């Protein structure tokens, strides 16, 4: 791990250094560097990336000492799965035993992979107990919770890493590289549209994500990735947000338009499962069945709730405008019922335009059906004068376009110093979610929201150097917000 507290020393480094002196010395050096100790809270789907990495590729230097979950069935499953690797023997704890877990198992790091709105509680308690934290995105869901986290970091002096894996996806890192090169000059505006299709997009409306109090809605849960990308690509801080949002597709009215009688509770017991093209068979996938269906009896959580339910409280159609402290203006759109999945983004600079597009999947006829994977990646620079230049995209393998593997190497391995500064702490985590939280506030009030009015004491994170600006930063904002 590139440890931002103690520096990147691990067993492999010590063994390498000791190599010339023979095995005996290596063995004693090995013993002198204990493995890093991790506790994981929230052992659902996403936690497996971390526990799989710790007990797999990075097992020599890292171990899972404890796991904690509110669902005893998932706790037991995680303990069994991890122990079966032979690399770690974690102890399982209930959610109510979190502090006891830290006292007894003494982890150095707590990995937080619970539903989004619960992150702040575990982050703050872990920091207070003297641990550093690795948290999934979004860091949290509201400005108040973000403030709690910022205050706790200040109070304890401990460290947080927010795992923005999208920054590490090779073609997105390449976009950063081009922007850093100055080829398109100063970026004055950005146009960014993200499309979620009716398989992946619909899934947000089946799970806890469909409850805004739990996820912050897609503006926080999903767009945190996208706002973070723009903040990081530009090396700038957001200042002001305007937005519109609504739920137009995942409604009982759409169910009726599709010939159904209306919404039901869940797919498993749905009387219209033969007719509904959004039917999702939770029992058909052994992995999902073992993780969720078999453990419903403990907490009553259904992973396959009806996407047409009237009580869904998140939006599916969102448009946001953001002004940055550099004067750059962002125009962003997100929708969750599209015919293809992916995004396009364009940066308009003083010397030219950078366009980048990824089409992940096209044409999904029904939930659970095989989609045609497109994996189209296009990047090109169009100078203001001269010929356009098509760019061969950087590639990677593994989850999230190869981003997960690069990030895991930085967290658990020995990655070199990163000139793109892809590591994010609580400041990057906060700036990203505050755009979403501001958008959520705009949805209710119709008024613009100033980021500086949402939290106190937030300072800009460390950024990779960007080319010097040719154009002066515009006049300070003169927006009156009632
Ligand atoms: N970076 C990415 O690309 C990515 C991808 C997927 C998920 N995520 C994030 O990972 C996190 C987990 O998502 P997931 O898909 O694994 O969800 P999940 O529903 O599969 O797992 C969440 C787990 O938390 C447990 N939990 C619920 N309440 C709890 C409590 N009070 N205390 C302890 N545990 C509790 C649940 O029982 C469940 O096991 C979320 O924050 C999500 O946004 C990130």
The residue among 216, 127, 232 whose CA lies nearest residue 179 is 232
Q: Give yes or no on whether 11-163 and 166-249+313-396+424-453 have one common fold.
A: no
Does residue 137 line the site of ligand 1, with CB under 6 A? yes
- The confidence score (pLDDT) of residue 316 equals 98
* CA gap 183, 172 in Å, rounded: 16
**3-state SS assignment for residue 341:** strand
pLDDT at 81: 98
Q: Which of 189, 233, 427, 470 is nearest to 329 (CA)?
A: 189
In order, the DSSP letters of 56-95 are TTTTTTEEEEEEEES-HHHHHHHHHHHHHTTS--PEEEEG
Cβ distance 146 to 434 under 8 Å? yes
pLDDT means per 10 residues in the chain (482 residues)? 39 42 42 88 98 97 98 98 98 98 98 98 98 98 98 98 96 97 96 96 98 98 98 97 98 97 98 96 97 98 98 98 96 96 96 95 58 79 97 89 91 91 98 98 97 96 86 68 65
Tell me how far CA of residue 386 lies from CA of 181, 352, 382, in angstroms.
18, 10, 8
Substitution candidate for ligand 1 out of 39, 40, 46 with most atoms within 8 A of CB? 46
Q: Is the peptide bond before 138 cis (omega within 30 degrees of 0)?
A: yes
Ligand 1 centroid distance, CA of 20 (Å): 45
Q: Look at the domain 11-163 and name its fold.
A: Rossmann fold (3.40.50)
What are the sequence ranges of the domains in the chain? 11-163, 166-249+313-396+424-453, 252-299
**Torsion angles phi and psi, residue 378, rounded to 5:** -130, 135
Q: Is 165 in the pocket of ligand 1 (CB under 6 A)?
A: yes
Evaluate: CB of 136 within 6 angstroms of ligand 1.
Answer: yes
Asked if 337 and 202 count as a contact pair (C-beta separation under 8 A), the reply is yes
Per 3-state DSSP, the chain is made up of helix, strand and coil in percentages (nearest 5) of 35, 20, 40
User: For residues 132 and 160, is the Cβ–Cβ distance under 8 A?
Assistant: yes
**pLDDT given at position 69:** 98
| Among candidate residues 133, 166, 136, 167, the one with its CA nearest the CA of residue 150 | 133
| 114 Cβ inside 6 Å of ligand 1 | yes
Give me ligand 1 centre to Cα 324, in Å: 31
Q: What is the 3-state secondary structure (H, E, C) of the chain?
A: CCCCCCCCCCHHHHHHHHHHHCHHHHHHHHHHCCCEEEEEECCCCCHHHHHHHHHCCCCCCEEEEEEEECCHHHHHHHHHHHHHCCCCCCEEEEHHHHHHHHHHHCCCEEEECCCHHHHHHHHHHHHHCCCEEEECCCCCCCHHHHHHHHHHHHHHCCCEEECCHHHHCHHHHHHHHHHHHCCCCCEEEEEEEEEEECCHHHHCCCCHHHCHHHHCHHHHHCHHHHHHHHHHHHCCCEEEEEEEEECCCCCHHHHHHCCCCCCCCECCCCCCCCCCCCCCCCCCCHHHHHHCHHHHHHHCCCCCECCCCCCCCCCCEEEEEEEECCCCEEEEEEEEEECEEEEEEEEEECCEEEEEEEEEEECCCCCCCCCEEEEEEEEEEEECCCCCEEECCCCCCCCHHHHHHHHHHHHHCCCCCCCCCCCCCHHHHHHHHHHHHHHHHHHHHCCCEEHHHCCCCCCCCCCCCCCCCCCCCCCCCCCCCC
**Is the CB of 42 inside a 6 Å radius of any atom of ligand 1?**
yes
pLDDT for the residue numbered 472: 74
Task: For residue 203, report the distance from its CA to the centre of ligand 1, in Å.
Answer: 14
Distance CA 226, CA 275 (A): 35
**Is the shortest distance between the CB of 110 and ligand 1 below 6 Å?**
no
Q: Tell me the C-alpha to C-alpha distance, in Å, between residue 76 and each of 42, 141, 211.
A: 12, 28, 27
Q: What is the reported pLDDT for 467?
A: 85
Q: Is the CB of 211 under 6 A from ligand 1?
A: no
3-class DSSP state of 301: coil
CA of 136 to the centre of ligand 1 (A): 9
pLDDT at 372: 60
Query: Angle formed by the axes of helices 170-181 and 223-234, to 10°?
Result: 30
Looking at ligand 1, which atom is closest to the CA of residue 163?
1
Assigned superfamily of 166-249+313-396+424-453: Dihydrodipicolinate Reductase; domain 2 (3.30.360.10)
State the Cα–Cα distance between residues 232 and 227, nearest whole angstrom: 9
């Amino acid at each position: 791990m590139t440890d931002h507290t103690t520096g990147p020393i691990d067993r492999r480094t010590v063994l390498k250094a000791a190599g010339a002196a023979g095995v005996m010395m290596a063995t004693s050096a090995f013993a002198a560097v204990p493995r890093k100790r991790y506790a994981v809270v929230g052992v659902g789907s996403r936690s497996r990336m971390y526990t799989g990495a710790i007990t797999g590729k990075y097992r020599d230097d890292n171990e899972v000492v404890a796991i904690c979950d509110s669902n005893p069935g998932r706790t037991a499953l995680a303990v069994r799965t991890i122990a079966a690797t032979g690399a770690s023997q974690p102890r399982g704890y209930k959610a109510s035993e979190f502090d006891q877990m830290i006292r007894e198992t003494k982890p150095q790091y707590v990995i937080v992979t619970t539903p989004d709105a619960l992150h702040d509680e575990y982050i703050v308690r872990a920091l207070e107990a003297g641990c550093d934290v690795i948290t999934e995105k979004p860091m949290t869901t509201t400005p108040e919770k973000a403030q709690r986290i910022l205050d706790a970091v200040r109070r304890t002096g401990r460290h947080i890493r927010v795992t923005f894996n999208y920054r590490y996806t090779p073609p997105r890192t390449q976009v950063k590289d081009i922007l850093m090169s100055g080829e398109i000059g100063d970026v004055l505006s950005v146009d960014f549209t993200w499309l979620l299709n009716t398989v992946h997009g619909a899934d947000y409306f089946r799970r806890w994500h469909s409850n805004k109090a739990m996820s912050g809605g897609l503006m926080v849960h999903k767009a945190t990735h996208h706002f973070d990308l723009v903040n990081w690509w530009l090396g700038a801080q957001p200042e002001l947000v305007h937005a519109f949002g609504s739920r137009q597709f995942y409604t009982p009215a759409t169910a009726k338009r599709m010939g159904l009688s209306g919404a039901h509770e869940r797919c498993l017991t749905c009387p219209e499962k033969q007719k509904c093209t959004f039917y999702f068979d939770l029992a058909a996938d052994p992995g999902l069945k073992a993780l969720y269906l078999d453990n419903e009896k403990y907490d009553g959580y259904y992973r396959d709730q009806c996407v047409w339910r009237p009580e869904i409280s998140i939006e599916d159609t969102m448009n946001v405008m953001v002004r940055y402290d550099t004067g750059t203006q962002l125009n962003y759109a997100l929708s969750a019922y599209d015919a293809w999945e992916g995004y396009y983004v364009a940066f308009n600079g003083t010397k030219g335009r950078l366009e980048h597009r990824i089409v992940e999947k096209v044409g999904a006829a029904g939930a659970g059906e095989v989609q045609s994977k497109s994996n189209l990646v296009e990047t090109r620079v169009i100078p203001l004068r001269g010929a356009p230049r098509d760019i061969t995209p950087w590639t990677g393998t593994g989850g999230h376009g190869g981003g997960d593997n690069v990030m895991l190497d930085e967290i658990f391995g020995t990655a070199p110093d990163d000139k793109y500064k892809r590591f994010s702490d609580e400041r990057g985590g906060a700036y990203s979610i505050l755009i979403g939280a501001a958008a959520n506030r705009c949805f209710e009030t119709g008024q613009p929201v100033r980021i500086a009015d949402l939290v106190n004491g937030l300072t800009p994170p460390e950024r990779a150097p960007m080319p010097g600006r040719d154009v002066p930063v515009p006049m300070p904002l003169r927006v009156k917000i009632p």
